[in-house]
Chains A and B, each alone.
Chain A
Amino acid sequence: MTDSAISIKNVSKQFGDTVVLRDINLEVPRGQVSCLIGPSGSGKSTLLRCMAFLEEANAGTILIEGEPLGFVEGPNGRRKQTAAELRRTRSKIGMVFQQFNLWPHMTALGNVAASLRRVRKMSRKDAEEKAMAQLEKVDLAPRAHHYPSQLSGGQQQRVAIARALALDPTIMLFDEPTSALDPELTGEVLNVMRTLADEGMTMVVVTHEIGFAASVGNNVCFLDHGRLLFHDTPEKVFAAPRNPRLEQFLDTYLDRGAFLVQ
């Protein structure tokens, strides 16, 4: 067991000739909120998707709670994990997507209960009881029998969080969880995430919500052009950015903040 929930070593990724990630090294500490920020196309979503093996890194290793993800080292070099091995490593991870990705043919309750029934093989009654408890945690018990199309974006994202939490992951990955939401709905989703952080969940959050990263994040990673340029506490990153590229990126946010102050 290492101290890190996720340990990323020398990870590189390219799509064809386009290099998306260049030699990334990152230790995600247990029980903390790590935020990945950076301009569009900087590779932050790709890095997060690599942590769930939704993208395959071309080089490097990723350990989840000390166990290899996607590839295992064998006597004859590395080989891809079998589907069952991958599922076992992934079972520690819950993932929340920008587009919510709720299954449209199931109710909110059905979405949360599905994996409990099919993967955990719980009885329908037990699965729905546990699913209901998860929905209560995100304040959506009254909407349990609504279909995703009958819910607002913010409600859908909260159901998606409940669905990911139902399988008791130790790590939660969020891929721009509020980017598809208007500011009002963003708030309700961020509140749920804040509660989760207070409970000590290990979280990795790709976000454009600099305010969230500053107030909830324990550490902030700044990516640009596939490189991890900066990795420090939010105080260091936001109060005294020492990197010109980071300063330039944050300036756009400061401009917006300055407008509000006037």
Chain B
Amino acid sequence: MTWYLFQLLLQASLMTIFVSAISILAGLVFAVFLSAMRMSGNGWLYNGAGLFISFFRGVPLLVQLLLIFNLLPIIGITLPSLATAIIGLSLCTAAYQAENLRGGFEGVPIGLIESAEMAGFSRVQTFIYIRTPIALRLTFPALVNEAILILKSSSLVSVVGLVELTKMAQNLSASTYQPLPIFASAGLIYLVINLTVAFAARRAEDALPGLPAK
């Protein structure tokens, strides 16, 4: 195990962080849309969102990634492996985050929505400016949990050919015959990334102003 090999792992970990961060954010935006669909009062939108969530929560991420990777070319779409990985991870995390958000949206006190109504907010404005920010704050710890899960699940995207931390570790161990130090290093890097995320989240949580009264 040399410094050079470790540097290669560190470089690959940047790809892990990049793919995960984009997927978590895209998944969050998508999850808010799914929540909006479920609260729209429209049966088609409600069931569409429900179907989406059931599928992406019920099918293993590895299978989803392989499906997307093999399905898209058949319908004439060829995407680089980076895009495929981000799409797969985003869709999966969106389903989980939508479920988390549901609890958050249900936790928004009805009085806060009534006061928005009386202040002249439309339903859409109430959703954007009142419900969503409060629901996000209520579900922030769950969001952090999901972020850490996605950081670890991103190791699966190696199956679509993206070289991130796990794939790099596999490649290096195959070429150097030193699996133990290399996978130990990779594990250590994952651990440091996730501890950093958890620490930063704790600090952010303390700084987030006012949650609704318990």
Contacts and interface: CB of A to CB of B under 8 A. Distances in A.
Interface of A: 52, 54, 83, 87, 90-91, 93-95, 97, 99, 101-105, 107, 114-115, 118-119, 147-150, 160, 163-164, 167
Interface residues of B, number: 24
Contact of B210 (A87, A115, A150): A150
A101 B210 contact: no
A104 B123 CA distance: 19
Nearest to A149: B210
A169 B137 CA distance: 32
Contact of A104 (B117, B119, B121, B211): B211
A95 B210 contact: no
Nearest to A150: B210
Chain B interface, >50% SS class: helix
Nearest to A98: B111
B125 interface: yes
Interface of B: 109, 111-112, 114-123, 125, 129-130, 133-134, 137, 209-213
B114 A54 contact: yes
B121 A115 contact: yes
A149 B123 contact: no
Given A101-B111, A104-B210, A150-B210, A94 B118 contact: yes
B134 A95 contact: no
Contacts of A104: 112, 134, 137, 209-213
Given A54-B118, A163-B119, 19 more contacts: A90-B117, A90-B120, A95-B114, A95-B118, A97-B114, A99-B111, A101-B111, A101-B115, A103-B115, A104-B210, A104-B213, A105-B133, A107-B209, A147-B210, A148-B210, A149-B211, A160-B115, A164-B118, A164-B119
A102 B117 CA distance: 13
Contacts of A91: 120
B135 to A, nearest CB: 10
Contacts of B120: 87, 90-91, 115, 119, 167
A167 B121 CA distance: 12
Contacts of A90: 117-118, 120
A97 B120 CA distance: 16
B134 A105 contact: yes
Contacts of B129: 114, 118
Given A95-B115, A105-B137, A114-B129, A83 B123 contact: yes
Given A115-B119, A115-B121, A101 B134 contact: no
Contacts of B211: 104, 149
A102 B114 CA distance: 11
Report, nearest first, the 5 A-B pairs whose CB atoms are least far apart: A149-B210, A101-B115, A119-B120, A104-B210, A115-B119
A103 B112 contact: yes
20 contacts: A54-B117, A83-B122, A87-B120, A87-B122, A90-B120, A95-B118, A97-B115, A99-B109, A101-B111, A103-B115, A104-B137, A104-B211, A104-B212, A105-B209, A105-B210, A119-B120, A149-B209, A149-B211, A163-B115, A167-B119
